[in-house]
Structure 1
């Protein structure tokens, strides 16, 4: 199954680009940097793992990779911290957790979801939404959420909550989440994001299955994304 598995995901690839000192978009949301030399090098590094026999050939499935690791079918796994609790409960061996490796610099994109309070709802519904938001974002709930899932709590105060402090003593590997969060970057979010993510995912699949070179795949993704973003420039 390979010594290391990296699921084919533009989110994980974004980490590789950041580590190569490239952000995949600019803050305006109208430009992407898929054909930047640093981005191309990041993908070439990934495909080189395949050529060296360290990474499986072809594409690695996001959903099955944690199970492969827990079953001992791969020695190293790149994945979301949200799989950490699942892996800890499934694996019957000791394992370590560490921030993602760096090339030019350390870094990882953030993930997760957002809570919105809509304007065009009743005052009563808005107040209820505010109450729910405060509850879900409280240190207590964030700490429990981290224990139950492995996701990084957005609030630093969550680490002081008893449930997470006790969990850290029992499972010290979770402390790597704090270390990694020190080098967190925003997740790329251009206009037409869902379409552009699909475009980049397809490019990665082409490079990893050998049907296109890293440079050609990313050049194509850049051109397609530029067409989607043209109306916002």
Structure 2
């Protein structure tokens, strides 16, 4: 099953996977005994001579400026280490460039890596095991938010740590619900009833839909987990939601809601912005969308806007998104690279300001317990919902083959949601293709 990166450099990376995660604005803080920038006595010794580190990231726009500011804080506080940060494009572009750099021997020391691709790089043995570094720094793995660690381990090695992480939540126009005397839905049944009650149809045209979600794998995977299904089976040899009927249940529910106007399923291109725009304009009452949309929505709406857990079927469950940070095994400056990672993860002046400003999820206990985070959540309770929902986080699509299987899953989603193809026949085809990929 091992897939060397040199064989995957030319693989087409689907940008749709990352649409939901890439729009986030998101979080992390310090370890109990290693987070104080003024007393890093348990941190590894800094390099004896000044070293320059290359750090690749995927943050553009305002978040890119926040990453630049973080790097500047690090450089100003470390005489013997200089970090050079380089924006490599979106998550998918960074993955492709990193594949090429690994193959040519020009990889950076540290890289942001979209969490679903961590296994692919780890399987090719190009990521450093961070376990001894963590131990040397006196940092416990328990310091990190459990719901965000699902993509950190591979073959008993700690190959990445969370950085800019997000999760989907329910965004609600509570004003519209209140007008109908409806409560914020907590179950599929309640969501269906509320969404149908909120539909407005005039002259044969829908002028308001009950709820919506961007075109992405995130949301069907969330529903699969809520129905107590898994994306892959236990031994990663096949699809876990096929034989037990969960896949049929999820897509049948979506098509039923789509047929009544309760669900608006947007075009695949720019779907996130389309959904957000309709929500702001009151053309859709509720949306499944990333926690990273909170800031933009809150500043643009003139109605009572609240967030809530994704409604459950049998259980509450949600996937996670965003990126982790990894050290490349080929780095010639590993002590310096670790100091940068340690500082980002645990120092109060590291990633915490980035998390507070961007909206990404806090990824350590110290960050969650910081006064800055408490003050932010008191001021903006909508942002705490995503963190609270992490108790139900589950990522069942972890596998080296996920990028290829994802391509086929998108094809299945398109066939069902856009072309109204037979659900069972479509899932049959998807399973056949997924099994072929998993058998390679």
Q: Distance in 2 between matches of 1:139 and 1:206?
A: 47
Tell me whether 208-217 or 219-228 shows the greater mean CA deviation: 208-217
Q: Is the 8 A contact 1:68 1:74 kept in 2?
A: yes
Runs of 4+ that moved beyond 4 A: 57-60
The Cα of 1:34 is off from its aligned counterpart by 4.6
Alignment of 1:31-42 (within 5 A): 31-36=238-243, 37-42=245-250
Q: Is the 8 A contact 1:3 1:74 kept in 2?
A: yes
* Local SS of the residue matching 1:177: helix
Q: How many residues align?
A: 229
Distance 1:51 1:193, change over 3 A: same
Q: Is the 8 A contact 1:50 1:57 kept in 2?
A: yes
* Local SS of the residue matching 2:308: coil
TM, length-normalised to structure 1: 0.88
The answer to whether residue 403 in structure 2 is matched with residue 185 in structure 1 is: no
Aligned to 2:275: 65
Q: Distance in 1 between matches of 2:303 and 2:353?
A: 24
Alignment of 1:6-85 (within 5 A): 6-26=213-233, 28-36=235-243, 37-56=245-264, 59=267, 61-85=271-295
The Cα of 1:80 is off from its aligned counterpart by 1.2
Alpha-carbon RMSD across the aligned residues, in angstroms, is: 2.1
Distance 1:174 1:58, change over 3 A: closer
Aligned to 2:334: 126
Aligned to 2:322: 112
Q: Distance in 1 between matches of 2:240 and 2:260?
A: 27
Aligned to 2:56: none
Return the match for 1:135 from 316, 324, 343.
343
Tell me whether 21-30 or 2-11 shows the greater mean CA deviation: 21-30
Unaligned 5+ residue runs, structure 1? none
The Cα of 1:187 is off from its aligned counterpart by 4.7
Q: Is the 8 A contact 2:416 2:423 kept in 1?
A: yes
TM, length-normalised to structure 2: 0.49
Q: Is the 8 A contact 2:294 2:382 kept in 1?
A: no
Distance 1:57 1:180, change over 3 A: closer
Q: Distance in 2 between matches of 1:44 and 1:139?
A: 47
Q: Is the 8 A contact 2:215 2:266 kept in 1?
A: no
Q: Is the 8 A contact 2:212 2:265 kept in 1?
A: no
Aligned to 2:212: 5
Q: Distance in 2 between matches of 1:71 and 1:195?
A: 37
Q: Distance in 2 between matches of 1:138 and 1:2?
A: 44
Aligned to 2:423: 214
Distance 1:186 1:221, change over 3 A: same
Tell me whether 132-141 or 78-87 shows the greater mean CA deviation: 132-141
Unaligned 5+ residue runs, structure 2? 1-207
Q: Distance in 2 between matches of 1:166 and 1:142?
A: 17
The Cα of 1:139 is off from its aligned counterpart by 6.8
Q: Distance in 2 between matches of 1:156 and 1:133?
A: 17
Larger radius of gyration: 2
Tell me whether 160-169 or 31-40 shows the greater mean CA deviation: 31-40
Q: Distance in 2 between matches of 1:72 and 1:149?
A: 25
Aligned to 2:298: 88
Distance 1:189 1:128, change over 3 A: same
Aligned to 2:369: 160
